[in-house]
Structure 1
Amino acid sequence: MPKRKAGEMSKFYAVRAGHQPGIYDTWAECQKQISGFRGAQFKSFTTREDAEAFAAGQEIPGDLAAKKVKGADKFYAVARGIQPGIYTEWTACQEAIEGAKGPKYKKFGTKAEAEDFIRLNGTAATVLGMGLAGNYDDPDAAYDEEDEQDDDEGVEVKQEVKKLEAAGVKVVSPSEAPPAGMGRDGVLRIYTDGSSRGNGKVGALAGVGVYFGKNDPRNLAEPLQGQPQTNQRAELTAILRALQISAPNQDVQILTDSQYSINCVTVWYKNWLKNSWKTKSGPVKNRDLVEAIRARIDERTKRGAKTTFEWVRGHDTNASNIEADHLAVMGSQLER
């Protein structure tokens, strides 16, 4: 059993309905009991006594995890969508899922319940990026089974932390993400973003944003060319434009809030290549952009330059990510 790290607050995961109801010390153990179990009921507590009471079917009036945040009694959890997260307004939730195929979201009365929903249904990157992974030492133990089909392509892939890291992807909180620009380590950090007004609808207009740093002449805001005018194509195009603008022998790190884009060009493309760019639901979408980005990465690799990616939670407190978002929105409003 994994040991708790020194200084960590004790957590007890209670499973009321699952494969094996009971109390578990780690999120990994808890997830094994609820994964694939229809109607699973579970919750985390700071005391074993409350956890045991919940598992036994009792209500916990004093449960801190179940208390509502003052001023908000609705929490919309988006485990899978354009922008996973927890929202207190339905309009914000709609924006986070609009245009996504097979989004997973649900309304709850408490933030704790919303977080539990994301733990159960979100990808590894989402769970870790939101700081919801709980106490476990072996990432593979928590994400050992294959994820459900990708919301956009129907490709089954494992969203394991080690696999993402092996692909050169970091998962960080907004406060840990470095600013755009040239770092002391000689790596050029570029923030990219895409925006689509009316995403998924006829007449949508998308834009591309690339942010190299404050007052950097390379900063880019331009309308997305071609069709369809989707958020995903805008996100991928932003990455492509960043690589086109950067010197081919310069080490770069692309920072984006698009898990979809990162997975396309670091993980999923390998299976797509093996399967002749076909999935169970048909041809791979956005193949042209994925191939163009991979060609740039391969060219840079031949020149000895590293190209890495970092996922940053979008629309949060990271100034550089916000700037990239503003540029993308500006691009969507420009004349075509």
Structure 2
Amino acid sequence: MKEVTIYTDGACSGNPGPGGYGAILQYGPHRRELSEGYRRTTNNRMELLGAIRALELLQEPCAVTLYSDSKYLVDAIEKGWVDSWQRRGWRKADNKPALNRDLWQRLLALLERHKVRFVWVKGHESNAGNNRCDELAVAASRAPTAVDEAFEQENSLPQ
């Protein structure tokens, strides 16, 4: 399997509000940056979407080390929270609905294809990959062009 390194970050101005994600994929000497801004979303959705979009770009099964400053993303996978939510019909231990089910399901499907090790890094510190992803995510959040349809449908504002 090819070994790929991915850095991801999400940003949101207000929560919910305009948001964006940034991601960097590295394979040997190759490097690709990606980002996208959404008009109304949440920070956690952007953290998840950054990882999803990066993994979706991989054209064959890969061994991936994915760095993120999101405890929500990393702990949900590494501590098995998302597996528990799924087993309980997408309910958390307190019986409240697990948020972002649509994105978790997309991510879980990608994890069946790729061997991914999630690594938490402290945000806004000395990790150059994470810092660059933060720049990409913030810039994307300031120029949102995409619609987070699932979020907006579930959280529609009264007319």
Q: TM-score range by the shorter chain?
A: 0.7 to 0.9
Cα distance in 2 between the residues matched to 1:207 and 1:331? 5
Q: Name the residue aligned to 2:139.
A: 330
Conservation of the 8 A alpha-carbon contact between 2:19 and 2:42: yes
Secondary structure of the residue aligned to 2:32 is: coil
Q: CA deviation at 1:217?
A: 6.3
**Root-mean-square deviation (CA), in Å?**
2.2
Secondary structure of the residue aligned to 2:62 is: coil
Q: Name the residue aligned to 2:57.
A: 245
User: Residue type matched to 2:36 in 1?
Assistant: E
* Distance 1:224-1:308 versus aligned 2 partners, 3 A rule: farther
TM-score by length of 1: 0.39
- Tell me if 1:196 matches 2:12: yes
Gaps of 5+ in 1: 1-184, 301-305
Cα distance in 1 between the residues matched to 2:116 and 2:68? 13
Task: Compare relative contact order (CA 8 Å, sep 6+) and give the higher one, 1 or 2.
Answer: 2
Q: Name the residue aligned to 1:255.
A: 67
- Tell me if 1:295 matches 2:104: no
User: Residue type matched to 2:8 in 1?
Assistant: T
Of 307, 315, 324, the residue aligned with 2:124 is 315
User: Residue type matched to 1:196 in 2?
Assistant: C
Cα distance in 1 between the residues matched to 2:44 and 2:75? 12
Cα distance in 2 between the residues matched to 1:274 and 1:212? 31
User: Residue type matched to 2:87 in 1?
Assistant: K
How do 1:163-174 residues align onto structure 2 when only pairs under 5 Å count? none
Cα distance in 2 between the residues matched to 1:224 and 1:258? 19
Q: Name the residue aligned to 2:148.
A: none
Cα distance in 1 between the residues matched to 2:60 and 2:116? 10
Conservation of the 8 A alpha-carbon contact between 2:7 and 2:67: yes
TM-score by length of 2: 0.80
User: Residue type matched to 1:210 in 2?
Assistant: A
State, as a whole percentage, how many aligned pairs show the same letter: 33
Q: CA deviation at 1:292?
A: 0.6
Alignment length (residue pairs): 141
Query: 1:130-171 CA distances to partner (integer Å, 9 max, x unpaired)?
Result: xxxxxxxxxxxxxxxxxxxxxxxxxxxxxxxxxxxxxxxxxx
Cα distance in 2 between the residues matched to 1:216 and 1:223? 24
Cα distance in 2 between the residues matched to 1:192 and 1:232? 12
